[in-house]
Amino acid sequence: MKILITGGSGYVGSVLIPKLLNDGHKIINIDTQWFGNYLEKHKNLKNIKSDIKNINEIRFNNIECCIHLASIANDPMAELDKNLSWETSALNTHRLMEKLIKNKVKRIIYASSGSVYGISNKKKVTEDINLNPISLYNKVKMVTERVILSYSKEIDTFIIRPATVCGYSPRMRLDVTVNALTFSALHNKLIKVFGGKQIRPNIHIEDMCDIYRFFLKANKNKTGIYNAGFENKSIIDIAKLVKKNIPTKIKIIKDLNDPRSYRLDSSKLIKAGFKPNKVISDAVKDLKINYDKKILVNKLDFYSLKWLKKILKKIN
Ligand SMILES: NC(=O)c1ccc[n+]([C@@H]2O[C@H](COP(=O)([O-])OP(=O)(O)OC[C@H]3O[C@@H](n4cnc5c(N)ncnc54)[C@H](O)[C@@H]3O)[C@@H](O)[C@H]2O)c1
């Protein structure tokens, strides 16, 4: 199948694209490459370094599906330039959708976010509950979902609301919970936990990529919105789990720098036929192996917020 991926040079895309190439797919990846490009050359991979706002300049030929990952991908980054956040996701997604429809692309799979639920004390946060987005990032994701769903009569739409992803990728993100706590334990022998009681859902990067692969093949009667997260844990429990694998001190700081707290219930995804294969401790162990081999190193571009700040200074 010929697949268009947006944002494929990012953390998730850098693991997903090699898997799709291995499955025998042909890939066109459009990415601004803000965080570089760690994808190896392949005869079936075309990397286009561009903003999706220029989507109309790209020649489409027999593309059957689009996996839409491009986004400013966390809360503090979205706040850096609010207009850019709306433009990158909502407005550009509108342009992307028009182009997909015009070229008769049959399917779109969108990486939304489980954080659209904001703060929720419900034990079961299922796809049908009211959204309570509290940050700009959450609001942009919610609106972008709506933009895509408004085209659902013309294209099969699959909206995925992932938990926080964890595990090793060549384009590493050290700003997401499990990765950040694990790296801090490895590098500083210290984990600082802010608050700690906030509940966050998690998903291993391998399972995340397998969900996108699952929806490439899923029957069109399965279109809709799916939560994707399998382990709901408090931040302090994640820190303790890291400590089980890596000797470290844990320091609890009372300030709550990020109050988001929610669980994800992914029964709908499991019922549709997806089975997760990995758990958080697999991610912690993989990160340790890569750190010990000096493959995982401390690089500024692995801290998305600090890196994007630098890039935006250059652009503006
Ligand atoms: N990683 C997570 O924990 C997580 C959790 C929930 C949802 N998501 C969503 O999954 C998607 C992928 O996340 P990620 O962790 O790989 O993020 P990432 O920041 O590593 O990757 C995003 C990629 O999109 C590119 N990009 C941004 N704006 C662009 C534009 N206008 N045109 C072209 N390319 C652009 C960036 O250069 C980057 O390579 C994002 O939409 C994110 O919001 C991620």
Q: Is 165 near ligand 1, meaning CB less than 6 Å away?
A: yes
CA of 316 to the centre of ligand 1 (A): 21
Quote the CA–CA distance of 106 and 235 in Å, as a whole number. 40
Between the CA of 269 and the centroid of ligand 1 the distance, in Å, is: 22
Number of Cβ within a 10 Å radius of residue 260: 21
Query: Would you state the pLDDT for residue 124?
Result: 86
For residue 70 and ligand 1, the question of a CB distance below 6 A is answered with yes
Residue nearest to atom 23 of ligand 1 (CA): 7
User: 244 C-alpha vs ligand 1 centroid, how far in Å?
Assistant: 30
Q: Is 184 in the pocket of ligand 1 (CB under 6 A)?
A: no
- Opening angle at CA 12, ends 110 and 258, nearest 5: 85
Instruction: Determine whether the shortest distance from the Cβ of 10 to ligand 1 is under 6 A.
Output: yes
Per-residue pLDDT at 277: 97
Contact 202, 163 (CB under 8 A): yes
Q: Which residues of the chain have pLDDT under 70?
A: 256-260
Are the C-beta atoms of 31 and 70 separated by less than 8 Å?
A: yes
Which CATH number do you get for residue 304?
A: 3.40.50.720
Q: Distance from the CA of 72 to the center of ligand 1, in angstroms?
A: 6
Kindly state if the Cβ of 33 falls inside 6 Å of ligand 1.
yes
Number of domains in the chain: 1
**Separation between Cα atoms, residue 14 and residue 202, nearest integer Å:** 19
Domain range for residue 239? 2-315
pTM of this prediction?
0.96
Structure tokens at 270: 């499991």
Distance CA 126, CA 231 (A): 14
Q: Determine if ligand 1 sits within 6 Å of the CB of residue 116.
A: no
Atom number in ligand 1 closest to CA 115? 6
Question: What spacing in Å lies between the alpha carbon of 29 and ligand 1's midpoint?
Answer: 13
Amino acid at 15: V
